[in-house]
Structure 1
């Protein structure tokens, strides 16, 4: 990556970006033709002026002068039309390419393992999917074609100048190497500056996103002043990054403008002296045409440097986006068997797993769950309870061992069919900024509103939903902030129930709710666990006393298995100690 950053322009990255133009070849060709038109028709106007002055005005022959005036007007109109078409189609192409890349990026991110999201900043990923994409669009709308247009215009203008008067052209071309050298230095430093800017933009987005999400914690622990100070520091670095680009611009553009003005002054001086000399090699028309040509030659050079800034920002953004696209963090979805409806037999056979290499979370566990059973898993925080759920859904892949459902290795099943048969109710319920209905169905067209109402009545929460403004169409806002934690939990129960899963998992579903919501949840739990394999993870041991089997875990190992009654009979048993501690705590409360 260090080598890559030293390059002023990464040709390999640019070629990769151009691959996305293939579906839009026709628009690309139209844009190029418009660029060609801008260069040719723009350069023709000074030539027409030169002919008009030398052949009509100088000899005072006015009969054909109107023709040249009309010709210049036509050239101007055609140039304007080319400019209009160019701006529209180049921008259209940029947005179309970005749409395709953004869709591909999002589809790629949807398949990432949870490990990737565990280690990645949400703010940075948002920057990649939104802000960086706009910079890539600018490559086409304001960078690539503009640079090509300016270069082509310079070549055409230079060609006209040489053809008209090569001696005057030499005067103009003398200063070009100086501008080109300055441009090269400018581009080198601007690339570094833009890389710094993009890094600071990502840091800023990440910081703001996390602090806004965790604002309640900041205010609870009176961290406003500290975080304000941290934000000022990040914002200061962001400002300094941008000021570097401003500083380089403030140096380059005055120098380029000075050289352009100096060149024009020398041309006017030498040309005027030559026109009035005894044996001139420059005509009045040549001098007037060159006065028009010089800005057309130097201004594109200045614009190339400016547009190269845009191109560099786009290339830096593209490099970051492609790095995400090149990240191989997907669960291996090579299974071919489709799980249509599980009976619900689950086997873990000597399963080992670690989130961090050489730090095992599960240490060779084996368990057997029969179809229709309700299994409870208990243990201290960090024992590995939630990890079992993550592995069953294949959010992570195991290090060794086998996990089977109905005797089939879950790796042999397609991910979509596997997960469609398992519903999970988490302790921390996530709701989208949408209606209750859409949060339940997740916009699944196969689940109708009537199905949702029927399911809500079946598990006893229909009255609660109907009591809300607009009922099932009540917008719960971002993360469901308009609902209490218990109400959000009830919504998640209904979401699991309407999906009609073969296997149901409840992860700490009643750990942080009020007594009324807990009663509704208990009733809902009895209904939705009926007739299907259910795995319940709970801290409150009173909620799992009726489980068919209780699995007790400690430090990634299964230490006890049995029913509530049988486990309480074990002297100094792990479960018995847990139960007695909770029972005594409840009594003292």
Structure 2
């Protein structure tokens, strides 16, 4: 309509010899082009609004003061080393967004260095929370966690986490080579010798598979390791944890998403990996922790039973009930 009006009025001006026809064409074309550009710009208006909100959130995040203290600038006694002993002392915890719900309540637990301790129990009992506090993703509301007698809050984050290896239920692999994915496990060093990568793969029972590939350790895994089976992904994740040579190995339901055949192979790799180091394992399938030195049953943030598999079965309590239910299923 605007185009028609402009042409009509332009024709009137040309007829009266007030403007040359060339100017009318310029104005008309400019009007068309300007209208089109305005329409294109307005179509992006919702995206601009979203971008402004996202930028505001990012700025707020950048300006946020961490609530957890990282003693990185504090004089640190490098002679203090943790050798794998872990002690939870009267630990109480609730998540910041659920302050009315106590996840852990006066939790007391001692894990001796070099032993394997399994945390089991129903969902929401606090198993994963124990691991998150150990890694200092959060700090306890009350109480504390000691490593070889030293509070975890005394260790800089890098020092603390460099001594721990984590294998989770869903490993995150990158679109890089197998060697690079394994080496990523020790991101505290800039250059990991190939010999260490191969040794970690051997301990994880994945070396033979890797060498059977045409490009070996230089094989690209694709997005999220799409070219591998679940068991192969998990063994590469174990190798990634092993290349760090951690004092403490944390297994967060590392085999729960695998089929029985893959679970057996991965479990053999885990048995090798945990040898000679402290191992804290969270398990849903109780058959995978039968050989643990100590099994702790958590319920509502409290250790209600603990002992070996045989001792807990003889107790005929919560653990025995869960174990028998899984056997029937």
TM range (shorter): 0.7 to 0.9
Q: Which of 60, 71, 74 pairs up with 1:334?
A: 71
Is 1:409 the counterpart of 2:259? The answer is no
Gaps of 5+ in 1: 1-192, 206-316
User: What is the DSSP-based 3-state SS (H/G/I as helix, E as strand, rest coil) of the residue aligned with 1:343?
Assistant: coil
The equivalent of 2:166 in structure 1 is 424
Is contact 1:427–1:509 with CA below 8 Å preserved after alignment? yes
Q: Could you say which structure has the larger radius of gyration? A: 1
Q: List per-residue Cα deviations over 1:423-465 (Å, max 9, x = no partner).
A: 1100111112211111111164342122111222233221112
> Residues of 2 paired with 1:583 and 1:563: CA distance?
18
**Deviation at residue 413 of structure 1 after TM alignment:** 0.8
The answer to whether the aligner puts 1:350 opposite 2:200 as a matched pair is no
Report the secondary structure of 1:475's partner residue. Answer: coil
Q: Give me the whole-angstrom Cα distance separating, in 1, the residues matched to 2:86 and 2:132.
A: 14
2:125–2:301 CA contact under 8 A, matched in 1: yes
Give 1:474 deviation, angstroms. Answer: 1.6
1:381 partner SS: coil
- Residues in 2 aligned to 1:567 and 1:320: alpha-carbon distance in whole angstroms: 50
Q: TM-score, normalised by structure 1?
A: 0.45
Please list every run of 5 or more consecutive structure 2 residues that lacks an aligned counterpart in the other structure.
1-42
Give the drift of 1:476: 1.5
User: Displacement, 1:517?
Assistant: 2.5
User: Is the 1:486–1:512 contact (alpha carbons within 8 Å) kept by the matching residues of 2?
Assistant: no
- Report the counterpart of residue 577 of structure 1 in structure 2: 321
In 2, Cα distance between the equivalents of 1:332 and 1:477? 38
Are the aligned partners of 1:508 and 1:539 in contact in 2 as well (CA < 8 Å)?
yes
- The 2-side partners of 1:460 and 1:483 are apart by 15
Query: Are residues 1:375 and 2:117 paired?
Result: yes
Matched, 1:198 2:48: yes
Aligned counterparts of 1:448 and 1:502: Cα–Cα separation in 2: 20
Call closer, same or farther: CA 1:526–1:533 in 2, change over 3 Å: same
Q: Where in structure 2 are the equivalents of 1:229-378 lying within 5 Å?
A: 317=55, 321-329=58-66, 331-334=68-71, 336=74, 337=76, 338=78, 341-355=81-95, 356-378=98-120
Q: TM-score, normalised by structure 2?
A: 0.79
Aligned to 2:175: 433
Pick the aligned partner of 1:542 from 273, 287, 290. Answer: 287
- Pairing 1:397–2:139 present: yes
In the alignment, the residues of structure 1 paired with residue 272 and residue 52 of structure 2 have an alpha-carbon distance, to the nearest angstrom, of: 47
Shift of 1:500: 0.2
CA distance, structure 2, for counterparts of residue 362 and residue 196 of structure 1: 44
Q: What is the SS of the residue equivalent to 1:360?
A: coil
Cα displacement (A) at 1:552: 0.2
Residues in 2 aligned to 1:483 and 1:391: alpha-carbon distance in whole angstroms:
32
The 1:197–1:331 alpha-carbon spacing in structure 2 relative to 1, beyond 3 Å, is same
String of CA shifts for 1:164-190, please: whole Å, max 9, x gaps: xxxxxxxxxxxxxxxxxxxxxxxxxxx
Question: Contact 1:489 / 1:509 at 8 angstroms: preserved in 2?
Answer: yes
Q: Deviations over 1:493-538 (max 9, x none)?
A: 0011111000011110111113333222122112111111111111
Tell me, in whole angstroms, the C-alpha distance in 1 between the residues paired with 2:214 and 2:255.
25
Structure 2 CA distance for aligned equivalents of residues 526 and 567 of structure 1: 22
Aligned partner of 1:559 in structure 2 is: 304
Equivalent pair of 2:231/2:265 in contact (CA under 8 Å): no
Please state whether the residue corresponding to 1:531 is helix, strand or coil. coil
The answer as to whether partners of 1:374 and 1:535 remain within 8 angstroms in 2 is yes
Q: 1:357 to 1:452 in 2, by over 3 A?
A: same
Aligned residues of 2:203 and 2:273 also touching (Cα < 8 A): no
